[in-house]
Amino acid sequence: MKLILLAFSCVLFVFSCNTNDKKIIDTKIVEASVDTIIQDTIIQLKNPHLSITKDFVLGKFDYKNDTTFVKVDTKHSLKVVYLQNEVYKVFLDMVDSAKVAGVELKIVSGTRNFKEQKAIWERKWKKYNTLEPLQRALKILEYSSMPSSSRHHWGTDIDLNSLNNSYFNSGKGLRVYEWLITHANDFGFYQVYTEKDNNRTGYNLEKWHWSYLPFANKYLEFYNKRIINDDINGFDGFEQAQKVKIIKDYVNGISKKAKDYK
């Protein structure tokens, strides 16, 4: 009897090790790295080693020439998009799973670095030039990030299918959203800009923005330990960063579920 039980345990052990083993290994290495080397400027993550530095979380790097980033196949995107390799692999698993359910996922936007975010921000800064500086910043911040404060810098966040909440309220868009709400978390993707309940601050509701939390939460942890308002500069209106509480209310203005993610 003992032998039978032992054999059964071994089978269970082997089975559990094979299930999603890649994702588990990645997450464990990320955790170990952040805990043990958080005092240093550079944190090494998994293979191929991606360094977390202040410049990385602030978007000041060239993802197009970074071997840990990859160009998304155009059949999965509506424009040229780059993501972190590992994030893309998991995204492709999610695409396959959604496809079985008749749902098509297309990336509208992925990684954006400081320069690209600065272009978006300054275009809007000019557009709202009749407003006082603080109101001008708050208006842009309804849906767009200040450079150096965007999760899109990290290669972990994607905008899916449409940049209009109304698209997801009926028909095909509703089916996409319902599928994502039900299944995306199983792949590590979470909607971070939910309704502003549970005292969520910051950006308005974005049904299209999904974040790969196994990595993104580690970057946020690093960000909160190492980045201060003075690190956010180099664009029109950067002086408003402190007044709008960019780090407290926006960088950390994510859903409770995302904050609680471990």
Closer CB to Zn ion, residue 58 or residue 81?
Answer: 81
Q: Per rule CB under 5 A, is residue 112 in the interface with Zn ion?
A: no
Find the radius of gyration of the CA atoms of the chain.
20
Interacting positions 198-237 with Zn ion (CB under 5 A): 209
Q: Which is nearer to Zn ion, 161 or 240 (CB)?
A: 161
CA distance 117 to 96: 31
Q: How far is the CB of 11 from Zn ion (least distance, A)?
A: 43
DSSP string covering 71-135: EPPGGGBSS--EEEHHHHHHHHHHHHHHHHTT----EEE----HHHHHHHHHHHHHHTTTS-HHH
CB of 39 to Zn ion, least distance (A): 31
Stretch that binds Zn ion, among 7-15, 76-84, 151-159, 225-233 (CB under 5 A): 151-159
Interface with Zn ion (CB under 5 A), residue from 26, 66, 86, 159: 159
Site pattern 59..98 for Zn ion (x: CB under 5 A):
----------------------------------------
Q: Distances in Å between the alpha carbon of 141 and those of 41, 51, 123, 237, 245?
A: 29, 29, 13, 12, 11
Inter-residue contact 231 to 247 (CB < 8 Å) = no
Q: How far is the CB of 109 from Zn ion (least distance, A)?
A: 6
Using CB under 5 A, list all residues that contact Zn ion.
159, 209
